[in-house]
Amino acid sequence: MTWSIPLGRVYGTEVRVHVTFLLLLLWIAVIDAGQGGLPAAGRGVLFVLLVFVCIVLHEFGHVLAARRFGVTTPDITLLPIGGVARLSRIPEQPGQELVIALAGPAVTLVIAMVLFAATGTRPSLQAVDTAGSLGGMAARLASVNLFLLLFNLIPAFPMDGGRALRALLGYRMGFVRATQIAASVGQGFAFLLGFLGLIANPILLFIALFVYLGAAAEAHTVQLRQVAQGMIVGDSMMTRFETLPLDASLDDAVRALIRTAQRVFPVVDGTGRLHGVLTQAALVQRAQAGDASAVVADLMTPGIPAIHPYQPLGDALRLLQDGSLPAVAVTDATDQLVGLVTSETIGEVMLTHGVRPSRAAAGAGRQPGRARDAA
Ligand SMILES: [Zn+2]
């Protein structure tokens, strides 16, 4: 979801809006303007923005519930079909996931009930003609919230209902199996929706695509965890890499980027102690800004956690995902940097996990001294 624009931070959670949501806004404005001129377009856009506020409130239901279990939410992304709150980790206790999954729909239910009560309309999915009146718009907003509630409760990934389904399955089977089933249901549902879209409404095709991709992403994350089971950090770290000194210039860093195939550079001091990592993205961004005076220490991502080569790979994965970090450092008993785990190294392990190098053979090519010499 890189096609999204940050709007601001609320309670430490970044609220982002996906470009397709803005396209939806534009589309509504154009259609309404065509039918009723500028005032209609203004009302249409205002209405979508109100829906947007309701979706944000829904997402904060998830965020606050997650926080109760110590799970943070780095960001919320708003899509045309709803919001996605990215949890720093998925609680593997079914009870916790169930509460977090249902907290969002609970907020939407409250909003719908309050709006239906305030406008004195009977709960229905029928969009009420606004005719420009405030009450009409509130009633229509209530209907949209009712629709959002029902849509979110469909028991298929990536909807909240899919998460609730996984949590319920999780009481009877393992987390991975429960996810696979919920993801398959989600993808099956996406096909059904896509088929309906072909014969009825093309908008359903878009929704089907989002649902399909969401279900696939969830299945992928869990598959990653499954592959990581039984592996250690040493199986998935790169050991040949260059490091950059803290005071290296932007120029030095650019040359290192071109000279190597690395996308992440550990930044070390004179004693070889790790201070952070410099990513290709940070480097390119600063280089394009034309600020040649910067030193590597200003551009790096500090606070990179370190783990030992014999720790389970799942630990490295959790560190990467929880902190949205570019890399996790691997250090030996003397605290010297011996390797790096990045999403690329883990991706390569995923792609080749049918052929696992034996520990002894892998260990031979993993001499800490050599790794540092190369640096
Ligand atoms: Zn939700």
- Give residue-wise pLDDT tens across range 284-299: 888 888 777 888 888 8
Rounded distance from Cα 178 to ligand 1 centre (Å):
19
Query: C-alpha angle 318/323/325, rounded to 5°?
Result: 95
CATH no., domain 234-354: 3.10.580.10
- pLDDT band at residue 364 using 50, 70 and 90 as cut-offs: very low
Cα–Cα distances (Å) from 268 to 262, 275, 302, 337, 369, in that order, read 16, 6, 11, 9, 16
If you search the block for the tokens 């309309």, which residue do you land on?
A: 121
Structure confidence at residue 2 (pLDDT): 62
Please report which residue ranges of 229-300 form alpha helices under DSSP H.
250-259, 280-289, 296-299
- Give residue-wise pLDDT tens across range 348-360: 877 776 665 555 4
- Supply the angle between the helices 94-119 and 134-152 in degrees, to the nearest 10: 160
The answer to whether 162 and 180 have CB atoms below 8 angstroms apart is no
- Give residue-wise pLDDT tens across range 114-154: 988 888 777 777 655 555 676 778 888 888 899 889 888 88
Residues 6+ apart with CB under 8 A from 92: 170, 175
Rounded distance from Cα 85 to ligand 1 centre (Å):
8
CB half-sphere exposure, 220, CA atoms < 13 A: 11
Structure tokens at 155: 């028991």
- Give residue-wise pLDDT tens across range 73-109: 888 888 776 787 877 777 768 899 899 999 999 999 9
The answer to whether 239 and 365 have CB atoms below 8 angstroms apart is yes
Q: Is 58 annotated as a binding residue?
A: yes
- Give residue-wise pLDDT tens across range 33-81: 777 777 777 888 888 888 889 999 999 999 999 989 888 888 888 877 6
Check pLDDT > 50 for residue 25.
yes
Domain ranges of the chain: 1-153, 155-230, 234-354
- Give residue-wise pLDDT tens across range 151-161: 888 888 778 99
Structure confidence at residue 108 (pLDDT): 94
Q: Rounded to whole angstroms, how far apart are CA atoms 304 and 326?
A: 9
Structure confidence at residue 282 (pLDDT): 86
- Supply the angle between the helices 202-228 and 175-199 in degrees, to the nearest 10: 160
Rounded distance from Cα 166 to ligand 1 centre (Å):
14
- Give residue-wise pLDDT tens across range 324-344: 788 888 988 888 888 999 888
- pLDDT band at residue 179 using 50, 70 and 90 as cut-offs: confident
Rounded distance from Cα 75 to ligand 1 centre (Å):
13
The answer to whether 219 and 183 have CB atoms below 8 angstroms apart is yes
Structure confidence at residue 196 (pLDDT): 86
Mean pLDDT for 187-202 is 85
Structure tokens at 288: 């394009």
Number of helices (H), then strands (E), in the chain = 13, 11
92 catalytic residue (yes or no): no
Neighbours of 287 (CB within 10 A): 17
Structure confidence at residue 190 (pLDDT): 87
Q: Hey, which residues does 161 pair with through a beta bridge?
A: none
The one catalytic residue among 59, 92, 97, 344: 59
Structure confidence at residue 130 (pLDDT): 52
Structure tokens at 203: 């908008």
Rounded distance from Cα 206 to ligand 1 centre (Å):
18
Structure confidence at residue 368 (pLDDT): 38
DSSP state letters, 305-327:
-EE-TTSBHHHHHHHHHHTT-SE
Rounded distance from Cα 159 to ligand 1 centre (Å):
7
Rounded distance from Cα 147 to ligand 1 centre (Å):
13
